[in-house]
């Protein structure tokens, strides 16, 4: 029986990756090109079309045998029309990405928000595989989230649902770029952890964090983990506080959606049980399933950078 292939594209501001995905949800070939922004939307569309053709050609698959192409892109995306309302990082507004690329390629093209696409990839072929309801949280510069209920991406009537990073956990708290104050991502993202680390270093001149980072400019989210491993008390205090915020937001996710599983991604998830164990303990304390007494699983994502490619390549399943 002939394999059925789709192509998934993870479109980012720096790079764009196209993967050829088989019907077992495996990436059989992958190409990454520079996005080369800024440039006109039409120019980028032509590059995306050529990227699709290139990944098929390099893997000896006729493009006519590609079932469809899926794209995960930053911005607000109308999944039904394939239009990107706005993508501030690209400076594109009312971008007719789906229909335009359909014309260029001659096949069906699905377009989804990149966080939703990555979450769906993790759901189909990653850490949440086999679960009916799942939430995938990415702790990065902000907090990305994707919510899958009964096998379908929760999009909302305006395709903007699932922005858990912009739910408020501290009323009147830190200002967020979204215009609100006290958003979860201002306290529990990897960037927030780096910011908290810098503030602690200013107050603790003898902290091991200085030795690890060298100076404030070279602090990253890993600094505090490395310092805690060396027994640094200031680092432990920063990390304990940050983990409480992570747990608080995930407890809210659990109380709202009661998913079977919550998968945590982003670079900090490489810390494994250092993060997962205290977050599980927090969620167990703060949530109470009086019906079954069973809490959702809380695990790390497993697909890493491939989640967006696989998720985009299987978007037809999410309809």
Residue 60, SS3 per DSSP: coil
d(CA 314, CA 190): 28
Both structure tokens of 77: 């995306």
Which residues have a Cβ under 8 Å from the Cβ of 149 and sit 6 or more positions away?
133, 257, 259
From the centroid of its chain, how far is CA 66? Answer: 26
d(CA 166, CA 177): 10
Between the alpha carbon of residue 55 and those of residues 106, 110, 214, the distances in Å are: 16, 18, 42
From the CB of residue 103, how many other CB atoms can be counted at a distance below 10 Å? 12
Of 257, 21, 251, 243, give the one whose Cα is nearest residue 135: 257
Of 301, 2, 248, 279, give the one whose Cα is nearest residue 129: 301
Query: What's the pLDDT score for residue 291?
Result: 58
Question: Can you list the domains of the chain with their CATH numbers?
Answer: 5-122+307-318 (3.30.420.40), 131-301 (3.30.420.40)
Q: Are 279 and 250 in contact (CB under 8 A)?
A: yes
Query: What's the pLDDT score for residue 159?
Result: 92
Q: Average pLDDT by consecutive 10-residue portion of the chain (319 residues)?
A: 87 96 97 96 98 98 96 94 90 96 98 96 97 96 95 94 96 95 98 98 98 97 97 98 98 95 95 97 84 83 95 94
β partners of residue 19: 8, 30
pTM, to two decimals: 0.92
Q: Which helix (H) or strand (E) element contains residue 125?
A: helix 114-125
Residue 216, SS3 per DSSP: helix
From the centroid of its chain, how far is CA 315? Answer: 15
Query: What's the pLDDT score for residue 257?
Result: 95
């Amino acid at each position: 029986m002939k394999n059925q292939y789709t192509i998934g594209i993870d479109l980012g501001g720096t790079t764009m990756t196209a993967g050829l995905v088989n019907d077992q949800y495996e990436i059989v070939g992958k190409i990454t090109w520079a996005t080369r922004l800024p440039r006109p939307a039409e120019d980028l569309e032509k590059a995306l079309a050529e990227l699709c053709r290139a990944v098929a050609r390099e893997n000896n698959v006729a493009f006519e045998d590609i079932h469809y192409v899926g794209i995960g892109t930053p911005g607000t995306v109308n999944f039904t029309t394939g239009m990107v309302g706005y993508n501030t990082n690209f400076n594109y507004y009312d971008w007719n990405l789906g229909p335009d690329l359909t014309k260029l390629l001659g096949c069906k093209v699905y377009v989804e928000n990149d966080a939703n696409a990555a979450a769906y990839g993790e759901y189909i072929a990653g850490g949440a595989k086999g679960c009916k309801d799942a939430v995938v949280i990415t702790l990065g510069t902000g907090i990305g989230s994707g919510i899958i209920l009964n096998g379908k991406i929760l999009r909302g009537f305006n395709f903007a649902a699932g922005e858990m990073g912009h739910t408020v956990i501290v009323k009147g708290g830190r200002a967020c770029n979204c215009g609100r104050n006290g958003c979860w991502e201002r306290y529990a993202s990897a960037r927030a952890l780096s910011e908290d680390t810098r503030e602690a270093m200013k107050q603790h001149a003898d902290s091991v964090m200085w030795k690890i980072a060298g100076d404030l400019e070279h602090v990253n989210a890993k600094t505090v983990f490395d310092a805690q491993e060396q027994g640094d008390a200031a680092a432990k205090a920063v990390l304990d506080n940050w983990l409480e915020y992570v747990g608080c937001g995930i407890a809210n996710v659990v109380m709202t959606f009661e998913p079977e599983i919550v998968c945590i991604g982003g670079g900090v998830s490489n810390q494994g049980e250092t993060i997962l164990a205290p977050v599980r303990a927090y969620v167990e304390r703060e949530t109470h399933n009086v019906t079954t007494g069973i809490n959702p699983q809380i695990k790390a994502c497993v697909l890493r950078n491939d989640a967006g490619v696989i998720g985009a390549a299987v978007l037809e399943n999410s309809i």
